[in-house]
Amino acid sequence: MARKDRRPIEQELPLKSGARWTIKIAKGWEDILRNLLEDHPDHFRALVSLIQGRPEAVTEQQFRDLRKWGYLARDRSPLPGARAIIEAAYRETPDGPALVESLDVRTPADAALYTRAEEQLDRLRATALDRAIRDLDNDQPEKRGGRPR
C-alpha cells in the first residue's frame, strides 16, 4: 500500500537508532516509558541497566515488577519496544535521565507525516479521554438508578 494511502500513525519512520517502527508503536512506547520514568525512576534506571547489559544492577524486586508491568519477557529480557525506544531516545542530562524524541525526522515529507500523525494521535487521545470520563460518569450509582453513597 502506498505511504500516502495509509493513516499517518500506521506509517513507518526510522528511529534514531536506525530501526523502522510505525509511528503509533514508537509514540506508544515513548508514552509508556515516560510514565515509568516519572512514576518509578528507579525501575526505569533498572530497565536501562538491563538494556545496557548490566543485569547485576537490577534487584529481584525490580525484575519482578518490570515483568509484572509488561516491560520484560519471561526470560527477563527487555521487550523489543522498550529496548528500541530506550536505545533511540534515552539520554543522561544534568537533571537526570530523560527520553527525547525517538523518531528520526529528517526530510520535509517525514516532518509533514509526523505532524499529521501527532494530530491524529491527539484526536485519538481526546476521544479516549472523553469516553473514559463518560464511562466514569455513567458508572455513578444515581445514574444507574441506585442510591448515592
Tell me how crowded residue 48 is: count the other CB atoms within 10 A of its CB. Answer: 21
Instruction: Label residue 143 by pLDDT band (50, 70, 90).
Output: low
In the chain the first and final C-alpha atoms are separated, in Å, by 54
The answer to whether the beta carbons of residues 91 and 101 sit under 8 Å apart is: no
Helix (H) / strand (E) element for 117: namely helix 108-138
Quote the cell numbers at residue 49: 541497566
Helix (H) / strand (E) element for 92: namely strand 90-93
Task: Please tell me the distance from the alpha carbon of residue 19 to that of residue 104, in angstroms, as a whole number.
Answer: 10
Quote the cell numbers at residue 11: 506509517
What does each C-alpha distance from 102 to 54, 91, 143 come to in angstroms?
22, 11, 44
Instruction: Label residue 142 by pLDDT band (50, 70, 90).
Output: low
Write phi, then psi, for 98 (nearest 5 degrees).
-150, 155
Task: Please write the tens of the pLDDT for every residue from 63-93.
Answer: 999 999 999 999 999 999 999 999 999 999 9
Task: Please write the tens of the pLDDT for every residue from 104-114.
Answer: 999 999 999 99
Question: Closest Cα partner for 111 from 23, 24, 30, 32?
Answer: 23
Q: What pTM, to 2 d.p., does this model score?
A: 0.79
Return the percentage of the chain with pLDDT > 90, whole number. 74
Give the DSSP letter of residue 93: E
